[in-house]
């Protein structure tokens, strides 16, 4: 029972779990929209939605806690780079995952299926 946006705004980085299904959850987009930088695994499930390491997120090697720690420490010591990723991530999410854009993409996909494309 807390305000998720307010909580995201307290931090510069956040981590989201891709679960056993390897699918980025809603907070992947919510946290980025709030200006936070997502620290996620280097996996196709994140890449296929357009997330890029060092551009609009921070990726670490799956199952490797040392990789995770190294990435966090690096960006804690390089806030200028972290801030750039934050700006890129926020713009990326706003440009690609707002409700209207997602709805338009769903309609486009359904029309493509219906028309046999």
The structure's pTM equals: 0.88
Question: For residues 113 and 85, what is the distance between their CA atoms, to the nearest angstrom?
Answer: 35
Q: Report the 10 Å Cβ neighbour count for 86.
A: 21
Position 65 pLDDT exceeds 90: yes
Position 117 pLDDT exceeds 90: no
The stretch 63-68 carries a mean pLDDT of: 96
Question: For residues 103 and 85, what is the distance between their CA atoms, to the nearest angstrom?
Answer: 26
DSSP readout, the chain?
A: ---HHHHHTT-SEEE---TTTT---HHHHHHHHTT-EEEEESSHHHHTTT--BTTTBEEE-TT-HHHHHHHHHHHHS-HHHHHHHHHHHHHHHHHH-SHHHHHHHHHHHHHHHHTT-
pLDDT digits (tens, 9 = 90+) for 66-98: 999 999 999 999 999 999 999 999 999 999 999
């Amino acid at each position: 029972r807390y305000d998720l946006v307010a909580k995201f705004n307290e931090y510069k980085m956040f981590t989201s779990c891709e679960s056993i299904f390897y699918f980025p959850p809603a907070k992947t987009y919510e946290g980025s929209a709030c200006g936070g930088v997502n620290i996620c695994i280097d996996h196709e499930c994140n890449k296929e939605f357009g997330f890029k390491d060092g551009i609009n997120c921070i990726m670490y090697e799956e199952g490797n806690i040392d990789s995770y720690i190294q990435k966090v420490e690096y960006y804690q010591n390089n806030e200028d780079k972290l801030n750039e990723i934050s700006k890129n991530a926020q713009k990326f999410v706003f440009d690609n995952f707002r409700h209207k854009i997602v709805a338009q993409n769903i309609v486009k996909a359904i029309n493509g299926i219906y028309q046999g494309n």
